[in-house]
Amino acid sequence: GGAHVHRGAFARGHALARQGNDYWNDSGGRICNAMFQSWIVLGLAGLGRTDEALALNARTIAHCRDTGDRFMEPECVRLRGELTLAAQPSDTATAERLLREALAIAEAQEALSWELRAATSLARLLQSRDRRAEAAACLAPVLERFTEGRETPDLRQAGELLAELA
């Protein structure tokens, strides 16, 4: 389901991720719920069901914090920022606060991949607000810490964005 969602097949991915999450919960699984739920959130968002995505995202962040299953917390908070922008494009202050929070959580966890995603999202938002230098200053140090994997989608997108900001 997650793979389908990430490739843009939102209806199929959403259905499969929801089914997988239901099976997981029915079998007593509790860890990794945030991962399944983040895929469901992405599927809902891709289907234009932003309000549902925001509601599930809020429950997912609470799950991370309540259970200690915090691996996905930076990504879930980043998604909250992105969803906030999708729901209310003028609410850039809330989105920026959430993206900075996601970045700080990722840094504290030493989760470089989540840090890159948060920095990329924040840099895009800053760029859209004509704060290009600040956007580059946010993204460049994170991107520079990667020594391999430049062909991955996240690193390619971050590199392309940094080149636009230069």
Q: How far, in Å, CA of 72 to CA of 147, rounded?
A: 23
Q: How far, in Å, CA of 137 to CA of 77, rounded?
A: 21
**DSSP per-residue string spanning 144-158:** HT--S-TTSHHHHHH
Q: Which spans in the chain are helix H?
A: 2-6, 10-26, 33-46, 50-67, 73-87, 92-109, 112-128, 132-144, 153-165
- pLDDT truncated to tens, each residue of the chain (166 aa)? 999 999 999 999 999 999 999 998 889 877 788 999 999 999 999 999 999 999 999 999 999 999 888 999 999 999 999 999 999 999 999 999 999 999 999 999 999 999 999 999 999 999 999 999 999 999 999 999 999 988 899 999 999 999 999 9
Inter-residue contact 43 to 1 (CB < 8 Å): yes
